[in-house]
Amino acid sequence: MSEPLKIGLAGLGTVGVGVLDLLRAHEDLLERRCGRRIEIVAVSARSRKKRRGDHDMDRYVWFDDPVAMARSEGIDVLVELMGGEDGPAKAAVEAALSAGHHVVTANKALLAHHGTALARLAEENGVALNFEAAVAGGIPIVKTMREALAGNRVSRVFGILNGTCNYILTKMEDEERDFADVLKEAQDLGYAEADPTFDIGGFDAAHKLSILTSLAFGTEINFTDVYVEGIENITLNDIRYARGLGYRIKLLGVAADTGEGIEQRVHPTLVPIGSPIAEVNGVFNAVVVQGDFVDDVMLSGRGAGAHPTASAVVADIADIARGNAVPPLGIPADRLEKCTRARMRAHEGGYYVAMELPDRPGQVAAVARAFADENISIESIVQKGRAISRTVPLRDGETAEQTAPFILITHDTLESAMRAALERIEREGYCVGRPRMIRIERF
């Protein structure tokens, strides 16, 4: 029997304790599957006194400094679960790789900002850099794209990459509740942080999408090129109107090869009710990969949580124990191409637009003319609800005492044309306030 694989675990939060749970529960099973034992020998965390379930921390060598543990000759693998794009996490991972130790991490922010450089460092030192848990929790999407779909040319990858946003949008639709109300519930349940900006602003999903883009298209990770919109401006009426038109709103991450560059975008999206991605609800994630020989492959499951994420972490450890080795990003780092950005204004698709129109003659015609002048074809127009009495200043100094919601769906058109039309509508005072635009994906 081979020597045990010795693990140094940096970070003993929810996921770290989940890893301890799994390794204890399946110690013998993993030994049979990997041909060697997997042993935690050292740990590091901010507090030594904090309880970690029923685990006895005195069993392990304790390091106050995770970088010192990463360099220690007593470990074979550093498991980094501290989080953060810089600071101790980055320093520890770099130290481990430089010392010839394998690394397993769940840190999507670190990879989104430094993934290409870290992959290069791992390859230079002949060690693994595994990160299945960094994207979509327990869903094995990294291994699927890097290995199982290696024979396919990928044209597009998209999915629901943030469980917090999916939970909020699902609750808003199912229970007819406002965004702020559901967000508070998500915070109370621990699905959202006290400061939820990272999740609801779309940045968490953008980190994950930048990693998937590299795996899909063989490019260097380029987080700064991701176009990002969050869900904070989605209203209950948007949810209702979309449902009435046959759509559901999801926060999607989409990466596609346009032929002129790689399009990377995260934003609320209308998807047809009945399509597989529309039926992924609650805290679940889903990722769809479109390959030329395999067509569409969809993986769905829990995208976060202690045990699903721990499952992905331990799968990466098991690969190292078995001696399975592949380039971290699927292609050797020196062969990765620069990620050429496709302009967002060149994006083409359908759009949902919602606005409040003064209830007076000529307003609808003025809006229609603004779209026609940009060669935008309107698929459907819906005026929902009754006019509401209010006093609103208009461009010409008049006041409108009645406004009514006005909803339209366009056929596929260029985003540049949509933005030009909406800017004109707002500038010319055809609507009250700003029109809201949500992109449509007709899967």
pLDDT digits (tens, 9 = 90+) for 265-280: 999 999 999 999 999 9
Residue 385's pLDDT is what?
Answer: 55
Residue 1's pLDDT is what?
Answer: 54
pLDDT digits (tens, 9 = 90+) for 294-314: 999 999 999 888 999 999 999
User: What letter would DSSP give residue 4?
Assistant: P
pLDDT digits (tens, 9 = 90+) for 50-62: 888 889 898 999 9
Specify whether 184 is catalytic.
no
Please state, as a whole number, how many other Cβ atoms lie within 10 Å of the Cβ of residue 191. 22
Contact 61, 42 (CB under 8 A): yes
- pLDDT tier at 343, thresholds 50, 70, 90: confident
Within 240-397, strands assigned E span 247-257, 262-272, 284-291, 295-302, 348-358, 378-383, 388-393
Q: Which domains does the chain have, with CATH numbers?
A: 5-134 (3.40.50.720), 141-302 (3.30.360.10), 346-440 (3.30.70.260)
Residue type, 82: M
Rounded CA separation 239/237 (Å): 5
Rounded CA separation 45/17 (Å): 11
292 HSE (CA, 13 A, CB side): 9
Check whether 390 has a pLDDT greater than 70. Answer: no
Per the listing, tokens 């991972």 go with 93
Contact 108, 223 (CB under 8 A): no
Size of the chain, expressed as the number of residues it contains: 443
Residue 360's pLDDT is what?
Answer: 77
Reading phi first (left if > 0) and then psi (alpha if -120 to 50, else beta), residue 429 is in left
pLDDT digits (tens, 9 = 90+) for 103-119: 999 999 999 999 999 99
pLDDT digits (tens, 9 = 90+) for 120-177: 999 999 999 999 999 998 999 999 999 999 999 999 999 999 999 999 999 999 999 9
> By three-state DSSP, how is residue 103 classified?
strand
The two three-digit tokens of residue 78, written as one number: 């550093």
The one catalytic residue in 208, 250, 338, 384 is: 208
Check whether 398 has a pLDDT greater than 70. Answer: no
First to last CA, the chain: 51
Lowest mean pLDDT: which of 42-56, 292-306, 338-352? 338-352
pLDDT digits (tens, 9 = 90+) for 62-76: 999 999 999 999 999
The two three-digit tokens of residue 358, written as one number: 């003064």
* φ, ψ dihedrals at 43, nearest 5°: -140, 160
The two three-digit tokens of residue 382, written as one number: 């819906």
Residue 393's pLDDT is what?
Answer: 57
Mean pLDDT of the chain: 92
CA dihedral 301, 194, 11, 62 (to 10 degrees): -150
Contact 265, 237 (CB under 8 A): no
Lowest mean pLDDT: which of 37-46, 98-107, 248-257, 375-384? 375-384
